[in-house]
Chain A
Amino acid sequence: MSCACANSRNRNSGQEQLLKFITEVGFALEDVVLYLDTHPCDNDALCYYEQYKNVRKQALEEYTKMYGPLCSKDVSSKNCWMWTQTPWPWE
């Protein structure tokens, strides 16, 4: 692989930390979504959802900008297709 972005396969500690944060806020959101499915009028849960939705969105944007895309529709690299070069979750 001659592409420069192939170097992005090893995660550094800042990247690990941000990914951990995304996992945490992502989980908070996944859990409250299930709760809201059966408690659609719970105002506290709706506020919690709003709050974590925004935190997650910001963290995902920051991660994508610094370390590459977590979603195939967020690839921004112009010279090289980054999507397949960042680590797979099982690596």
Chain B
Amino acid sequence: MWNYEKRLEYPVNITTPNPKIAQLIISQYGGPDGEMGASMRYLSQRYSMPYREVAGVLTDIGTEELAHLEIVATMVHQLTKGLTPKEILDSGFAPYYVDHTVGVWPQAASGMPFSAKEFQVTGDPITDLAEDMGAEQKARTTYDNLLRMVSDPEVCDPLRFLREREIVHFQRFGEANREDCSKIPKVQKLD
């Protein structure tokens, strides 16, 4: 089971709403390389993972991704607070607004809804860990792309934290891959 703490893993205090940027950042909520896919990928891969240590890495990183999901949702929420109809129309936020008002719904920046098709659970430890390492780099790229377009320091600060965590997770998955998957017994050769 999980325990909830009523606080963010990293603080978010955005004082200037910006619906244009909210529409981009929402990709890290429900987009192809977002936090929802990340948490579901790692938590779902645990059951077929034959190594105790790797199941631990998947559990703990998957749990941290849930905390990141809450950070991203908080950013989207604060960036869309108190908008006027004119601001909604002028910023291009209207198509999202008409379906979701200012609720936070998992979609990509392109408007594509979240899908489990964005991740795999193959049941093969090497394949899953290789996907996980790729996934961390893809998420890091997305944060890099966001950071190139965002100038508000109150928005950049939590984005930088999240970007850095992708690099740490990549490192841990790499270690898990090296330490544990190398224990797989060699297939016996035929004479």
Contact B10 A34 (CB under 8 A): no
User: Any chain B CB within 8 A of the CB of A30?
Assistant: yes
Question: Are A38 and B57 in contact (CB-based, < 8 A)?
Answer: yes
Distance from B12 Cβ to chain A, minimum over Cβ atoms (Å): 8
Task: Write out the residue numbers on chain A whose beta carbons fall within 8 Å of the beta carbon of B172.
Answer: 34-35, 37-38
Between A and B, how many residue pairs show CB distances below 8 Å?
64
**A interface secondary structure, majority:** helix
Given that A38-B176, A38-B179, A90-B77 are contacting pairs, would A23 and B168 also be in contact in the complex, using a CB cutoff of 8 Å?
Answer: no
Q: Could you tell me if B70 and A89 are in contact, using CB atoms closer than 8 angstroms? A: yes
Task: State whether the Cβ of B60 lies closer than 8 Å to any Cβ in chain A.
Answer: yes
Q: Does B53 contact A37, Cβ atoms closer than 8 Å?
A: yes
Residues of A at under 8 Å CB distance from B?
A: 19-20, 22-23, 26-27, 30-31, 33-35, 37-40, 69-73, 86-90
When A and B form their complex, which 9 residue pairs have the shortest distance between CB atoms, in order from nearest? A38-B175, A90-B74, A37-B56, A89-B8, A37-B57, A70-B6, A90-B77, A70-B5, A34-B172
